[in-house]
Amino acid sequence: MTILESIKVAAVQMVSTSNMQENLDQARYWIGRAVAEGAQLVLLPEYFCLMGLRDTDKLAVREPMGEGPLQAFLRESAREHGIWLIGGTIPLESGEPDRIYNSCLVFDPEGQCVARYDKIHLFDFDNGTEVFSESNTIVPGSNAPQVFRAPFGDVGLSICYDLRFPELYRALNEAGLIVVPSAFTWTTGEAHWEVLLRARAIENQCYVLAAAQGGRHDSGRRTWGRSVLIDPWGEVLDSVAQGPGLVTGQLDSEHLAAVRQRLPALRHRRL
């Protein structure tokens, strides 16, 4: 575990459509905006590349690991701007014809892929009005919790529905920053989004950066948005409500260390 040094980070909020090229153009624009504001690490939202009319639409744009236009876009964007780019999620081949991995890839400033996390927890939800079943089209990841080490410190990876499973975050080796690319529904986001994010920041005494989908999509689905940066004391440092936008902020290594020193809860664990 390494403590974060100071770095400026950004989370991109999008309202992705069923047109992949349109989404890549939007992501390119917001990455450029984030870099112009001084961000050295940029996080894209879950499904930034495609929010299809049907859940199965993502099968048509799946890629083998290491190849394809989506990975090329992420690689080239990271290299062009000299940033750490966390690519929300993209669909990668799973070996099954009707299901993919929902994968988060991390690219360093040279454009090298340095980490991959396949979403472990799949969102199946039915309240009598809305029905979602990710397990129909996604294979759950089997890889261990993923932390990548950068010059500024350790960063832990998670995706959307993972947020409800605190044991995953405990396994992220006390990373100083945890990222959460997401596409929370309006219903579940309104009820639980911010409280869960703040809880993960407080209990792990770390910064949490969440990039969300936030608006009405082509399919009629409505996502909650509220992309946010939260500090290790649970304070919201920046957020954006609905629509495309950008959350930015400076991670303060001294503040992180002070929180962990004043209240050493991570050292007090007994279970």
Q: Is 235 in the active site?
A: no
Q: Is 46 in the active site?
A: yes
Q: Are 45 and 23 in contact (CB under 8 A)?
A: no
Which of 58, 104, 119, 134 does the annotation list as catalytic? 119
Domain extents in the chain: 7-264
How do residues 172-181 score in pLDDT, each as one tens digit? 999 999 999 9
Q: Which H or E run contains 118?
A: strand 113-118
How do residues 1-33 score in pLDDT, each as one tens digit? 566 778 999 999 999 999 999 999 999 999 999
Q: What distances in angstroms separate CA 67 from CA 8, 120, 129, 219, 251, one per listed residue?
A: 30, 22, 39, 28, 33
State the pLDDT at residue 1. 59
Which of 46, 63, 93, 134 does the annotation list as catalytic? 46
Structure tokens at 206: 């770390």
Q: Is 58 in the active site?
A: no
**C-alpha to C-alpha distance for 241 and 250, rounded to whole angstroms:** 20
**C-alpha to C-alpha distance for 189 and 4, rounded to whole angstroms:** 29
Other CB atoms closer than 10 Å to residue 62's CB: what's the count?
17
State the pLDDT at residue 2. 64
Which of 58, 93, 134, 160 does the annotation list as catalytic? 160
Q: Are 16 and 51 in contact (CB under 8 A)?
A: yes
Q: Coil, helix or strand for 13?
A: strand
**pLDDT string in tens for the chain (271-residue length):** 566 778 999 999 999 999 999 999 999 999 999 999 999 999 999 999 999 999 999 999 999 999 999 999 999 999 999 999 999 999 999 999 999 999 999 999 999 999 999 999 999 888 878 788 899 999 999 878 899 999 999 999 999 999 999 999 999 999 999 999 999 999 999 999 999 999 999 999 999 999 999 999 999 999 999 999 999 999 999 999 999 999 999 999 999 999 999 999 999 989 7
Q: Give the CA-trace dihedral at 54, 243, 7, 86, to 10 degrees.
A: 10
- At the topology level, CATH places domain 7-264 in Nitrilase/N-carbamoyl-D-aminoacid amidohydrolase (3.60.110)
